[in-house]
């Protein structure tokens, strides 16, 4: 029955990865509304104000926040410019009363696919606005075909803004331990994730005990380098391991737990109740369907959750 479970999981994964929700929502307003109900669990709304409102509620409950304006793989210079303007407004408004908040984005949302130099220029422009208002910028990690370009933009920008730009590393990629050694300056801000993209096994590791071990080793390594680390996972067993290791090493001052809005909220609450620093990753934007697809593809049972959310009052 274990093999049946695996087969079912694989089948669900391939369904999830083939979903092209945009096609349905463009064609059919009813479908649009229904799918939006499924997305509501994970996305605060289409507007910046909705994300900032949820951020305020979470902050008054004791959480820190990350904010993302959803978008990726932007194909034209105008759309990149529009994304940069929205991110600027987000930085400005979040910075008014929210020192320490984080704004996260994909470099492919601000120009990486068009020209690496354009993405770098946009990143530096945003960093120049973020630094004086105490907002930290965090670069997400995308598919492996972009890893070199993302790291090269990061390493060039972080030289100018060492305290304001952070990077996400995916434990699943075989290259990541070497990247951590070669690319991170001392004291870097790093988010460690397992990895959301399906990559060939020649370059990546599936979910497994070995991946969890690599995850732990990466966190330990970056802490030894004096980095500040966000342990970004919803894996409770892994979090329990991290809690123990970090407390024993006295390194818990440099680490925080970061979880996605709408995913395992009871786990974030438990961490907060234990006095741990917890950051919630909030998203907003018109491209909410992209975000919904990612959450379903990384955890196929969310397909059922989506159906339940759609059918519920």
Chain residues binding ligand FAD by CB under 6 A are 140-141, 168, 170, 191, 193-197, 207, 232-235, 258-260, 263-264, 281, 295, 298-299, 302
Q: In angstroms, what is the minimal distance from the CB of 139 to ligand FAD?
A: 8
Q: Centre a 10 Å sphere on the Cβ of residue 134 and count the other Cβ atoms it contains.
A: 14
C-alpha pair distances (Å), 185 with each of 162, 166, 218, 219: 8, 11, 15, 15
Identity of the residue, 59 or 235, whose beta carbon is nearer to ligand FAD in the bound complex? 235
Q: In angstroms, what is the minimal distance from the CB of 291 to ligand FAD?
A: 10
251 assigned to a ligand binding site? no
CA distance 8 to 6: 5
Identity of the residue, 26 or 300, whose beta carbon is nearer to ligand FAD in the bound complex? 300
Q: In angstroms, what is the minimal distance from the CB of 261 to ligand FAD?
A: 9
210 assigned to a ligand binding site? no
Q: Which H/E stretch holds residue 114?
A: none
Identity of the residue, 111 or 262, whose beta carbon is nearer to ligand FAD in the bound complex? 262
234 assigned to a ligand binding site? yes
CA distance 166 to 189: 5
147 assigned to a ligand binding site? no
13 assigned to a ligand binding site? no
Q: In angstroms, what is the minimal distance from the CB of 30 to ligand FAD?
A: 25
Closest to 289 measured CA to CA, from 14, 109, 36: 36
Tokens representing 271? 């961490």
Q: In angstroms, what is the minimal distance from the CB of 294 to ligand FAD?
A: 8
CA distance 46 to 43: 8
Tokens representing 167? 């990077």
Per the CB < 8 A criterion, the answer to whether 123 and 157 are in contact is yes
β-pair partners for 169:
192
4 assigned to a ligand binding site? no
Query: Annotated binding residues, as ranges?
Result: 141, 170, 194-196, 233-234
Annotated binding site for FAD: 141, 170, 194-196, 233-234
């Amino acid at each position: 029955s274990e093999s049946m479970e695996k087969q079912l999981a694989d089948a669900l994964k391939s369904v999830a990865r083939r979903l092209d929700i945009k096609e349905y929502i463009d064609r059919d307003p009813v479908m649009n509304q229904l799918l939006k109900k499924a997305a509501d669990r994970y996305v605060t709304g289409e507007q910046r104000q909705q994300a900032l409102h949820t951020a305020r509620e979470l902050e008054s409950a004791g959480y820190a926040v990350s904010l993302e304006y959803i978008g990726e793989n932007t194909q034209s210079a105008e759309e990149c410019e529009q994304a940069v303007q929205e991110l600027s407004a987000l930085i400005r408004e979040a910075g008014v009363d929210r020192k320490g908040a984080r704004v996260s984005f994909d470099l492919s949302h601000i120009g990486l696919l068009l020209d690496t130099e354009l993405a770098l220029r946009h990143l530096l422009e945003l960093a120049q606005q973020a630094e004086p208002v105490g907002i930290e910028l965090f670069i997400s990690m995308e598919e492996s075909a972009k890893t070199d370009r993302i790291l090269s933009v990061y390493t060039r920008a972080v030289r100018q803004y060492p305290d304001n730009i952070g990077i996400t590393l995916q434990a699943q990629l075989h290259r990541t331990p070497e990247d951590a050694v070669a690319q991170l300056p001392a004291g870097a801000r790093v988010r460690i994730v397992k990895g959301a993209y399906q990559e060939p096994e020649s370059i990546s590791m599936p979910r497994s005990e070995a991946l969890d071990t690599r995850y732990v080793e990466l966190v330990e390594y970056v802490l030894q380098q004096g980095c500040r680390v966000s342990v970004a996972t919803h894996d409770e067993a892994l979090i329990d391991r991290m809690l123990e290791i970090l407390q024993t090493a006295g390194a818990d001052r440099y680490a925080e737990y970061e979880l996605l809005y709408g995913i395992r909220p009871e786990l974030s609450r438990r961490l907060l109740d234990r006095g741990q620093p917890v950051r919630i990753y909030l998203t907003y934007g018109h491209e909410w369907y992209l975000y919904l697809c990612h959450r379903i593809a990384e955890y196929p049972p969310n397909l059922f959750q989506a159906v339940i959310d759609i059918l519920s009052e």
